Structure 1
Amino acid sequence: MRALVLRGFGDAAVEEVPDPVPGPGEVVIDVACVQPSVTECMLLAGEPVAMHTVLAARLAAGPTRFGGHEFAGVVSAIGPDNSGMSQNFAIGTRVTAVETAACDRCAACRRSRPDACPAPQVLGFTGPGAFAERVVVPAQTIVPVPDGVSASHAAAIQPLAGAIHGHAIAAVRPGDSVLIIGAGVMGVLHTQVARLGNAGQIIVTGRSEAKRELAKRSGADLVPHAGDDVPAAVLEATDGIGADVVFECAGEFDLASRCVRRGGTIVMVSVLPDTHPAPLARLRERSVALLHPRSGAGGYAPGRSVFEHALRLMERGDVDVSGLISHRLDGIEALPEALRITRHKHRYGALGPAQVDVKNWSRA
């Protein structure tokens, strides 16, 4: 099969690789649609964000496959020891997959705390992902895609699940004022989730006029330009108090700390370098809580995972990701171009990641 191979930072090309073979408890998915995340693009280019040292060590050992955790496809092969797998996951089922899978062996997993697993598998990061024609994943991570959700929309489910996680840990209450720094993919999705959750005043910052307009259509009440005096705008909108909850989605940690109210909450959504400065004295003096969204499907309701909930929101039309999909490319060979567009969205006028249609649902 064909897949993206990384030979050095900034040196990625589609090459022939061996077909994946499912092991015990695994399945193979024929990829229908995949999109790169901004973090993946930064890492592939060599930027020193989270997991940079891990990827550098892998490259030092030779060419490697990296990235591809936002995708949708069709189950095409099932490994051994999957006899207990639900019929919903039979060959031919349209699915996506949760990017994080706990090991099921450590002390945390044995105590039903997979979120505390010290060595989870992360699709595309600890092993090959969906930047390929086919991908092998743990059967436990599969999530069926409802009939009313397209492959394109299903491929965008992971960022929406991340936004749901962010609002859950922040415990946004009806009427809370919410500031979202950044009108990119995560900013727009956080805006929609905030509006759906009955947040009060929603303020979204951004530089691109098109993205700020998209944030406004997604439910933002106020959309100041990121180059303006954002703290002054936030104080004016909140009667001088500051935002109850700030979702930092653009690497503007210091700005977040100047806009949050005393006793408020900052949720760090963006991925920052290890050495990024932090205004700890200001956070301490203002008693600000600093939170980080969890990854994976997680679960807050016993009957439904976050991925299942996010897909249901899409199916019902409660959340609309179509405005974030402005560039769609055809064929696996277009992956390097998709990486360039996603990393430099402003150059290409892209509103979100460039998606690659690898196969149609019917042909996958």
Structure 2
Amino acid sequence: MRAAVLHGFGDLRVDEVPDPEVGPGEVLIDVSCVQPSVTECMLIAGEPIALHRRLAEALADGPVRFGGHEFCGVVGAVGAGVRRYRPGDRVTAVETLTCGRCAACRHDRADACGRPEFLGFTRPGALAERVVVPESAVVPIPAGVSATAGAAIQPLAGALHAHALAAVAPGESVLVLGAGVMGLLAVQVARRGNAGLVAVSGRSPAKLALARRFGADLVIDATTDGTEGEHPVLTAILAATGGVGADVVVETAGGSPGHGLSGVDTLELAARCARRGGRVVGVSVLPDGAPAPLGLLRERAVSLLHPRSGAGGYSPSGTVFTQALRLVARSDVDVESLVTHQLTGIEAIPEAVRMTRDKTRYGAINPAQVRLGAGWGQP
């Protein structure tokens, strides 16, 4: 089969690779649609963020299959012992694969697994025609969810994790810094999740218009002037909250300016925009060694939180992935409007990575998607 292979930082190619073999308890998925995540694109470029050192060590030994944890597809085959899936089922998969053997997993705390694997990072992912994953990681996609939405469900799961971690109480104010894909998903989740005032800041008029459509009460143009030299977002959120600040700030804007992001100062802005005793949820991927305003956070008693990865569960009746898919299936959250660029064919993966690395240049919101040959049919 063909798959994306990283030959060195910045050198991603589509090569012929051996067909994956399905072992006991595993599921082979024919990929229908895949999108490279922003984090994957940063790592492919060699940026010093989490997992960079591990990838560099792997590349020192030769080319590496890398990337592809945001995807959907059709089950092509199942291994011995698989009971929940059969060929033809439409599915996606969770990116964090727990070991099932460590003390945390044995005590039903898989979120604290000490030896997790990561699909597309530490094992081959779905930037390929086919991918093999454990049955435990597979998530069925309900009727009414398109391949476009199915491939984009992982970021929505991340937005749900962030909202749950912030424990937004009914009527609490939520400020979202950044109107990219994660920011716009955070706005929708906050609007559906008991928040009172929902505010969002950004620099793109088109994205801010989407935020307003998705239910934001206050849309802040981050390029305007603030009051007496203050940041315009701080000025606006203080005015909207009677000088108190937001109960919760979801920070999605930080990261490399080369990717159209806002650098490393957004964490300090988030701390200033939060009320005393408020919460900041850090969603953006900042470089290793990025400064953190610890003194400011301590002075204001502001909690800095980071959402977990993976499906996770807050209810016995479903995981975050199943809930994300429910929200899409019943049109509570719109992910398809965020998908602005779609390419066709496995050979388009390097171009999708280039577009996703520089979404501002291409006018993209969501990562660029690639549609492959696996038959999805109609939703």
Which TM-score bucket, shorter chain as reference?
Answer: over 0.9
**Cα pair 2:147 2:376 within 8 Å, conserved:** no
Residue of structure 2 aligned with 1:248, choices 244, 251, 258: 251
The separation in 1 between residues aligned to 2:44 and 2:189, in whole angstroms, is 30
2:261 is aligned to: none
**Cα pair 2:96 2:116 within 8 Å, conserved:** yes
Residue of structure 1 aligned with 2:127, choices 131, 151, 157: 131
Q: Which runs of 5 or more residues in structure 2 are unaligned?
A: 225-231, 255-265
**Cα pair 1:94 1:361 within 8 Å, conserved:** no
| Deviation at residue 215 of structure 1 after TM alignment | 1.2
Which amino acid is 2:96 matched to?
A: T
1:333 is aligned to: 347
Identity of aligned residues (%): 65
2:212 is aligned to: 216
Please list, as runs of the form range in 1=range in 2, the aligned pairs for 1:205-284 lying within 5 A after superposition.
205-228=201-224, 229-251=232-254, 252-284=266-298
Please list, as runs of the form range in 1=range in 2, the aligned pairs for 1:106-185 lying within 5 A after superposition.
106-185=102-181
1:298 is aligned to: 312
Residue of structure 2 aligned with 1:92, choices 88, 95, 117: 88
| Deviation at residue 118 of structure 1 after TM alignment | 1.0
Which amino acid is 2:121 matched to?
A: F
The separation in 2 between residues aligned to 1:219 and 1:49, in whole angstroms, is 33
1:282-331 per-residue CA deviation (whole Å, 9 max, x = no partner) reads: 10011111111111110111011111111111010000111111101000
The separation in 2 between residues aligned to 1:219 and 1:53, in whole angstroms, is 40
SS at match of 1:265: strand
**Cα pair 2:8 2:59 within 8 Å, conserved:** yes
| Deviation at residue 81 of structure 1 after TM alignment | 3.3
**Cα pair 2:120 2:126 within 8 Å, conserved:** yes
**Cα pair 2:91 2:140 within 8 Å, conserved:** yes
| Deviation at residue 49 of structure 1 after TM alignment | 1.0
SS at match of 1:15: strand
SS at match of 1:267: strand
Residue of structure 1 aligned with 2:332, choices 314, 318, 328: 318
1:186 is aligned to: 182
| Deviation at residue 97 of structure 1 after TM alignment | 0.5
**Cα pair 2:179 2:201 within 8 Å, conserved:** yes
Q: Which moved more, 1:312-321 or 1:206-215?
A: 206-215
1:142-169 per-residue CA deviation (whole Å, 9 max, x = no partner) reads: 1111121011101011000111111111
The separation in 2 between residues aligned to 1:198 and 1:114, in whole angstroms, is 28
Runs of 4+ in 1 over 3 A off after TM superposition: none
The separation in 1 between residues aligned to 2:47 and 2:2, in whole angstroms, is 26
Normalising by structure 1, we get a TM-score of 0.97
Normalising by structure 2, we get a TM-score of 0.93
CA RMSD of aligned residues (A): 1.0
Q: Which runs of 5 or more residues in structure 1 are unaligned?
A: none
The separation in 2 between residues aligned to 1:59 and 1:313, in whole angstroms, is 39
**Cα pair 2:31 2:130 within 8 Å, conserved:** yes
Please list, as runs of the form range in 1=range in 2, the aligned pairs for 1:46-85 lying within 5 A after superposition.
46-82=46-82, 85=83
**Cα pair 1:6 1:63 within 8 Å, conserved:** yes
The separation in 2 between residues aligned to 1:361 and 1:254, in whole angstroms, is 47
1:357 is aligned to: 371
The separation in 2 between residues aligned to 1:234 and 1:308, in whole angstroms, is 34
SS at match of 2:329: helix
Which amino acid is 2:364 matched to?
A: A
| Deviation at residue 80 of structure 1 after TM alignment | 2.4
| Deviation at residue 361 of structure 1 after TM alignment | 2.8
Q: How many residues align?
A: 359
The separation in 2 between residues aligned to 1:169 and 1:321, in whole angstroms, is 21
| Deviation at residue 197 of structure 1 after TM alignment | 0.9
Which amino acid is 2:240 matched to?
A: A
1:37 is aligned to: 37
